[in-house]
Chains A and B, each alone.
Chain A
Amino acid sequence: MRRAPFLEVTLLWLSFAACHRGAAESDSPPAAAEPDARQHVENALPAFRNPTGVTTQPDPAALDEAISHVARGQYAAARPHLESILDADAGHGRATFLLAYTHHKEKRYARARPLFERALEIGPTFEKAFGIFYMYAWCLWYLGEPDGAAAAFEAALEFKPDERDAWFGLGLVALEENEIDEAERRFAKAIEIGEQLAAASPDDTRLAAQLKRDRAKAEAGLGDVELRRENYEAARARFETCVSLHPTAYEAWFKLHRIHSRLGDSSKAELALRMHAQAKRALGR
């Protein structure tokens, strides 16, 4: 994948974090010595598949404070609260997960990674804790480990099959692995899920906005698929759809600039380049 900040993991998983947890202590066996990412996923899966016998972890007030900071993007401010919880209870799954999340959001993926792995080891101690797989997947992706990311995305989909962003992530993995047709299928799946969700909740404007942006991401993914096939007209159409849905998708504007240049349309190429610069300025980049 090429860096695509607008594709970055969003606060979506805050919904997981903000949910009430059912609390638990992991009954999964200790991990093998230095397992790789795929092994971490496989080791954790049984406990998440069968979360019986878990015990409720205390939910300290500091957690609410931390979540409040995280929701506002104040990651550094959230960490002392989370660390205080973990000082008292090193096995606190949700605090571990959120601490990982704060590092991830500040692009310290290598620091987030062992915390996500620890959260997986602890197991399903809060409601929708399976979201750890999803965040772990993106963390691995940004650490340059597509194989581990694929395993974690697939695990996330096992628990939430309509998680379109996991399908999108799997599409990126397929592109990276040169499986172009598979990438297309996965991006198309992300779009299909989005359309189903939109049809099911036609009046949910917040969801609609989210779906629009996610559709733009998937369209860009399909644009990349067409670029790999050197179908430049088809790619152009995909990227144009992307920017029509999400005008600050500066990466897509730049790809349009390249495509128009290749196709010999200099005026459209110049316009796309200007839009690229404008989008970056709008995002403060």
Chain B
Amino acid sequence: MKHALLLGLVAGAHLVTGGCTKDEPAVASLHFRDVTATSGIDFSLTSGGTPSRQILEVKGGGLALIDLDGDADHDLFVPNGATLESPFAGPGARLFENQGDLRFVDATEKAGLEFSRWGFGCAVGDVDGDGADDVYVACFGSNALLVNTGGRLVERTADAGVGGAADAWSTAACFGDIDLDGDLDLYVTNFLAFDPASPPPSMMFSGVEVFGGPMGLAPQADVLFENQGDGTFVDASLDRGIRAAQNAYGLGVAILDFDLDGRPEIFVGNDSGANNLFWRADDGPFEDRGVTSGIAMNQDGGQQATMGIAIGDVSGNGHPDVFTSNFMNDTNTLHVNDGGLFFEDRTVRFGLGIESRPYLGWASMLVDFDHDTDEDLIVFNGHVYPEEITAEHHWRFRQAPLLYERDGPRFHSATADTAGPWLEEKHRDRTAAFGDLDGDGDVDMIVAGVNEKIRVLENDGARAPSLIVRLADPNSANRRGIGARVSVDAGGTKLVRWVHTAGSYQAASAAEAHFGLGAHEGPVRVEVHWPGADRPQVFESVGPGTVTLTRD
């Protein structure tokens, strides 16, 4: 066991134990306000045309929080999409620099950002161990690695060997130290073979003619890139057993130690098919334990759409549970992790089932938004089919988010009356990134829909103190400790979170563990289970506030 090592509060963070300082509810609550108009982010994500004509136009794309300039706040990277008419040259990515107080400026030029492919999911991680965040973009066509060189994002895809196949449609990516050698490897989910010049024929959904896919189209194999320690990668999909899995319509991925055996597993969410959970013993190849673990399907053995992925400790047993969002006429699903790689669908038990049936869910996240110590849940929604079709059949084209407050053993829906008018505004949302954007200790959200303006939602309801843990591992290329499990003992209440950037939908959120501390005041005891470490490192008397904890 190690001694406490509190490096200190990060500039900009402040304690939130005092009274209200904002013009907001006097009582702590689950409440957000839309601050897009004053945020400096005035940008619409391009994703094909409107109305959407093909499946390529309706699946993304992503957002990423990245500290590009090393000032310890979250800047925003927007890969942006393209159109069917020009699928390999869109209007271009954007970088918005965080100036504090929820104000951003367009720093695309300053960042030297010249990227205009059709971008979907993003992953953020330090691929070369230089201490700076890099970003990987899953694309239609070759993917891109943009390496942070002194605050400029320079494409190094070819040098790093992570472009993937030119005819692939990659949807999501995630960094994690798969082989526990101290650097960040990369998993890329691929969706399906699609040729804009020769789109698939239409198909029937609920008796309605709609654009084709994914069913009937050829799924593509995912790729696992192994970091060679110098920021270059090799395709290890075959050697590591990934290729042995059946090709699937991959939409999301999370790399985490799900069974707490010290080695990371890879969860892959697949559209219209069984999800994968790649597990391995020792250094052998991965085996897909999706079905036997119970996470491949819902409790009825139904294969779902699995768009969004949210990870948290819903059951409170210290194991990562997995929430996934799904298509309409289906429910979202909560797989509770009982340990030993055994998951059980407890959606209904936790009150997350039936209400979601009319919704088509995407970005999802479990976060203690109101700082009452348990994790709440947000799901952003929006339909895929054109409004002309959805209107005729009374399906909801634009859809409001679903916000659930955890209250004892169940989740309960929040309403706009209490959570703010943003909650009843309808959009065609897809992606969302989560992090403390303004350094006030709570988690804010940035959301983007298909061909819609990006929105910035400020958490202005949390009042209780919080702890945000950032990790630093100076002896490893995995500088931020991606994959670490962080436990907090807040006056007898034990809370567990994970440091990862995965989940949501095609987004990279802040690589930090956030804890609401509820009624607990003062510092807490923190245990960090670093990736690959045999024992946790203990930090006594930490926080509250935002802290960086360094590995011995």
Contacts and interface: CB of A to CB of B under 8 A. Distances in A.
Contacts of B331: 2-3
A175 B349 CA distance: 8
Nearest to A249: B300
B407 to A, nearest CB: 12
B349 A141 contact: no
Contact of A254 (B207, B299, B348, B354): B299
Interface in A256-275: 257-258, 261-262, 273
Interface residues of B, number: 36
Q: Pick the most buried of B206, B301, B345, B347: most chain A CB atoms within 10 A of its CB.
A: B301
Contact of B345 (A2, A144, A146, A253): A2
Nearest to A255: B299
Interface string A98-120: 00000000111111011000000
B145 to A, nearest CB: 40
A31 interface: no
Contacts of B347: 2
Interface in A78-110: 106-110
B227 interface: no
A280 interface: yes
Interface stretch (B355-363, B431-439, B510-518): B355-363
How many A residues are at the interface, by size bracket? 35 or more
A258 B393 contact: no
B348 A175 contact: yes
A176 interface: yes
Contact of A258 (B206, B344, B357): B344
Nearest to A142: B357
Nearest to B207: A106
Interface in B398-430: 409-410
Given A146-B354, A175-B348, A3 B300 contact: yes
Q: Pick the most buried of A2, A110, A254, A257: most chain B CB atoms within 10 A of its CB.
A: A2
A86 B331 CA distance: 34
B388 to A, nearest CB: 14
Contact of B301 (A175, A228, A254): A254
A175 B396 CA distance: 27
A108 B207 CA distance: 8
B302 A113 contact: no
A251 interface: yes
Contacts of A111: 392-394
B396 to A, nearest CB: 8
B544 interface: no
B350 to A, nearest CB: 9
B315 to A, nearest CB: 12
B238 interface: no
B458 interface: no
Interface stretch (B4-12, B101-109, B290-298, B371-379): B290-298
Nearest to B347: A2
B292 A261 contact: yes
A114 B394 contact: yes
Interface in B90-118: none
B357 A176 contact: no
Contact of A143 (B294, B351, B358, B393): B358
Contacts, number: 92
B330 interface: yes
B229 interface: no
A108 B208 contact: yes
B242 to A, nearest CB: 23
Contacts of B359: 144
B292 A176 contact: no
Contacts of A71: none
Contact of B299 (A2, A106, A262): A2
Contacts of A107: 206-207, 329
A182 to B, nearest CB: 14
Contacts of A207: none
B359 to A, nearest CB: 8
B292 to A, nearest CB: 7
Nearest to A253: B301
B88 interface: no
A76 interface: yes
Contact of B353 (A2, A250, A255, A258): A2
Nearest to A270: B292
B395 interface: yes
A276 interface: yes
B43 interface: no
Interface string B328-352: 0111000000000010110111010
Interface in A1-33: 1-4
B23 to A, nearest CB: 33
Contacts of A75: 207
A279 B410 CA distance: 33
A251 B357 contact: no
Contacts of B409: 178
B300 A251 contact: yes
A123 B350 CA distance: 38
Interface in A209-251: 228, 250-251
A250 B302 CA distance: 9
Nearest to A273: B291
Contacts of A108: 206-208, 393-394
Contact of B358 (A110, A178, A228): A110
B358 A262 contact: no
Contacts of A280: 301
Nearest to B409: A178
B300 A254 contact: yes
Contact of B349 (A142, A178, A258): A178
Contacts of A3: 298, 300, 302, 329-331
Contacts of B206: 106-108
A238 to B, nearest CB: 14
A2 B300 contact: yes
A108 to B, nearest CB: 5
Given A106-B206, A280-B301, A2 B348 contact: yes
B294 A144 contact: no
Contacts of A258: 294, 299, 344
Nearest to A1: B354
A137 B396 CA distance: 20
A1 B353 contact: yes
A4 B299 CA distance: 10
A262 B347 CA distance: 18
A275 B30 CA distance: 45
Interface string A130-162: 000000000001111110000000000000000
Contacts of B356: 144
A130 B302 CA distance: 33
Contacts of B297: 254
A262 B394 CA distance: 42
A112 B301 CA distance: 27
Contacts of B349: 178, 228
Given A141-B354, A251-B299, 7 more contacts: A2-B302, A108-B208, A108-B394, A111-B393, A144-B355, A145-B354, A178-B409
Closest 6 pairs (CB-CB, A-B)? A254-B301, A110-B394, A144-B357, A251-B300, A106-B207, A107-B206
12 contacts: A1-B348, A106-B206, A108-B206, A110-B393, A176-B348, A178-B349, A178-B410, A228-B349, A250-B301, A251-B302, A261-B292, A273-B291
Interface of A: 1-4, 75-76, 106-111, 113-114, 141-146, 175-176, 178, 228, 250-251, 253-255, 257-258, 261-262, 273, 276, 280
